[in-house]
Amino acid sequence: MDDRPIGIFDSGVGGLTVLSEIAKRLPHENLIYFGDTARAPYGPKSRLTVLGYARQISRFLLRQNVKMIVVACNTATALALDFLQKELPVPVLGVIDPAIATLGHFGRQGKQRVGVIGTRSTVRSSVYLYRIRDAFPHYSVFQKACPLFVSLVEEGWAEKKVTAHIAHEYLDELVREDVELLILGCTHYPLLKNMLRQEFPGFELIDGGIETAKDVEHYLQTNHLQRLQGKGDVKIFISDLTDYFQTLEKLFFGGEIAGIAEVPWDDLARDENS
């Protein structure tokens, strides 16, 4: 039995969807989440900038004695995961490979035309494209950046007609390409699943948060790192505490979270240089 917490971080609030899935699947585990709300979004930023932020946050989580770090951000996974896995003394998992791994299941059903939607940085990096082609060279892969989805979700407009209209502007070309599997390559996008299922019934939706929670569970079991009893605690740290965050936590996590603490981003940078 390993009581140490699992560390999870994201550029802001979107990773709360991943936190929620891990909490549901692993109710005994202690969880620590860091949302870099002061510096979000990561999507438009450069690789070096995102890597610097990811290193600062990872060092903070290591000081909390975490046994594992989950990068609950597609952009940070795309741009920083490989570096963190080489540098850090604990296992580091991202949200991209678990989503890709589930494609094999659908491929055995004959579904091999894959769409990937995400932020501009995630799509520009082509990390999904390259990794899918490596794992499943016979699959056809189509990418589409959908940057407006983030703002629409945070406005609480996931079910509004304007969101469905914008979704068609983005995704009708994937329909024309006969895409069968759609990877939700941003942690905000699972909140659009109801709308996407209604407007695009031909897509099988793949939620990286759900698949990541399964991956975390498998890793802990395989390496005997589980916490096997008791109810786990959830602690939240963010780099800018606003009333807006407290509204969004209910949207992304499904309820209020006790014990939210602010760690200013300049403190993270100062700690790194001390």
DSSP code for 29:
S
DSSP letters of 69-121? EEE--HHHHHHHHHHHHHH-SS-EE-SHHHHHHTHHHHHTTT--EEEEEE-HH
Selected catalytic residue, list 19, 114, 186, 220:
186
Residue 72 has φ and ψ, to the nearest 5°, of -90, 45
Q: Taking a C-beta distance cutoff of 8 angstroms, is the pair 207, 98 a contact?
A: no
Selected catalytic residue, list 8, 61, 73, 132:
73
Q: Catalytic: 146?
A: no
Tokens of 266: 């300049």
Q: Say whether 147 sits in a helix, a strand or coil.
A: coil
Proportion of the chain in helix, strand, coil states, percent, rounded to 5:
50, 15, 35
Residue 205 has φ and ψ, to the nearest 5°, of -85, 135
Residue 237 has φ and ψ, to the nearest 5°, of -120, 135
DSSP letters of 221-260? HHTT----SSPPPEEEEESS--HHHHHHHHHHHSS--S-E
Give the separation between CA 217 and CA 233, rounded to whole angstroms. 17
Instruction: List active site positions.
Output: 73, 186
